[in-house]
Amino acid sequence: MNIDPSTTKYLIKARLQADGIVEKPDVVGAIFGQTEGLLGDELDLHDLQKSGRMGRIEVEVISKQGKSDGEVLIPSSLDQVETVILASALETIDRVGPCKAKITILGIEDVRVIKRAKIIERAKELLADLIKQSKTTGIDLTESVRQSVQIEELVHYGKEHLPAGPNVGESDAVIVVEGRSDVLNLLRSGIKNTIAVEGTNVPKTVMDLSKERIITAFVDGDRGGDLILRELFQVAEVDFVARAPRGMEVEELTQKQIMKCLRNKIPGEQYMEMYNMVPDAAPSLLKEEEVTAIIEKPIESLVVEKPVEREPVQERPEKRQREPRESRSHREPRERKSKKEKEPAADILEEPVTDPFAEIDEEKESSSGLSEAQEKYKEMINSLSTTSKANILGKDGEVIREVSVRELVNTLKNGVEGVYSVVFDGIITQRIVDIASNMNIETIVGTKLGNIAKQPENVEIWTKDELNA
């Protein structure tokens, strides 16, 4: 039912019950006829309707099984007292048309209260939309200004015009990312020494930079990131590797996540060993002159004279040779003799003692088949398990310095005095072995052996598994 809102302050709701079939005109006529003169001239319904103080009477009647039931709505702009008097007068009606009837007041609603509730609800919705628009506008404005500055800072570097940060030209360290969006995201975090490779085909500009600068490869945590890393390891010199969390891309990271990933970067060689990312076409690890010397060397010089046969004795487990087969063929085998075989053959020279625990008898074995020095190495490497720490030992077997595995290479390069052995919780790489050889470090003990293509003769190598076997 439609109620005229212009004349409505209150709404009288009543229920009609009639013992017969009645229609809307019968109900309206009964209301006007049976209240006429009942309430006086001031509340005469005809006069109230003409003056607009009472709205149109709305009636809905349903007839079923010879009886009628319906609802009556009367809008009123009278005051509260006059409205309730008018409502009470409706209950005096006892007949509608030819039928007995009864009208019961269900209630009087203050239409203004309902309107206020609707106004409040709608106002809340409008306010929420307005606040949302204001926030979005502010964010968009700030972001637009920031992006415009970032786009101005973005430069194109090298012959390939690669997207890069403004500091790539003069920075000693360069971060290599995948695409332009990654460069922009790092610029938002204030990192300006970045350059993008723009695909899996690494440009020559990046190759040249890797020879002069410290390169950190910062790639996505997906298969695409793995492919780019493999390409970089093959054609460039990657010093460090940083990865986005698994399943995420660098362009999606927040500033906090970017800083965390860069802090947790690991050396490139160690990353290759950990994830078996050996380049498919690795260059020869022997210099050209070394290869030529081996090829031109007479065959007789590569044959080792068979040692004199002696009675079999129970020997302790020898340290296994841990170099690839291709390099073993270029090395003459070394023979270690126990004290029981003190008399060497004429063509075999006795090797100098290379153990850092010089005062300990090298051939003295423990119940596990290891010498006392090896037992100490075993105890030390087991205690360092899962700590990512490294112990640098002196000649007497005492710890000179304890550093993290990440700092081990730089610490050794800086020239620590009197280093005889290194025990660390990490992978023994070719780089660490080469440094040990150059610094005359005699023993390296690590958790696992990486791809050692060339093992120096003056360095002994032990792994945790060998010592615990």
Confidence of residue 299 (pLDDT cuts 50, 70, 90): very low
Given strand 10-18, what is the order of strands in its sheet? Answer: 58-64, 67-76, 10-18, 99-110, 95-96
Kindly report, residue by residue over 30-68, the tens digit of the pLDDT: 888 888 888 888 888 888 888 888 888 899 999 888 899
Could you give the percent of the chain with pLDDT greater than 90?
Answer: 25
Q: Rounded CA gap, 14 and 83, in Å?
A: 13
* Residue 174, token pair as written in the block: 């360069």
Kindly report, residue by residue over 252-285, the tens digit of the pLDDT: 999 999 999 999 999 988 888 887 765 544 444 4
Question: Are 182 and 252 spatial neighbours (Cβ–Cβ below 8 Å)?
Answer: no
- Predicted local distance difference test score (pLDDT) of residue 309: 45
Q: How many CB atoms neighbour CB 402 within 10 A?
A: 12
Q: Which domains does the chain have, with CATH numbers?
A: 5-113 (3.30.70.3250), 155-275 (3.40.1360.10), 355-468 (3.40.140.20)
Instruction: Spell out the alpha helix ranges (H) of 37-195.
Output: 45-50, 80-90, 111-153, 180-188
Helix (H, G, I), strand (E, B) or coil at 175: strand
- Predicted local distance difference test score (pLDDT) of residue 148: 60
- Predicted local distance difference test score (pLDDT) of residue 284: 40
Q: What is the DSSP letter of 20?
A: S
Q: Rounded CA gap, 268 and 218, in Å?
A: 11
- Predicted local distance difference test score (pLDDT) of residue 138: 57
- Predicted local distance difference test score (pLDDT) of residue 183: 92
Q: Rounded CA gap, 243 and 218, in Å?
A: 6
Q: Rounded CA gap, 256 and 262, in Å?
A: 10
pLDDT at residue 329 greater than cutoff 50: no
Higher pLDDT, 228 or 315: 228
pLDDT at residue 111 greater than cutoff 80: yes
CA 158, 162, 164, 170: dihedral to nearest 10 degrees? -10
Confidence of residue 323 (pLDDT cuts 50, 70, 90): very low
Contacts by residues 306-311 (CB-CB < 8 Å, ≥ 24 positions apart): 307/335, 307/345, 307/348, 308/345, 310/341
Q: Rounded CA gap, 215 and 358, in Å?
A: 41
Mean pLDDT of 303-332: 42
pTM above 0.85, yes or no: no
Kindly report, residue by residue over 65-99, the tens digit of the pLDDT: 889 999 999 998 888 899 999 999 899 988 888 88
Reference 10, options 87, 92, 104, 121; nearest CA is 87
- Predicted local distance difference test score (pLDDT) of residue 276: 72
Mean pLDDT of 110-127: 89
Higher pLDDT, 161 or 299: 161
Q: What is the DSSP letter of 54?
A: B
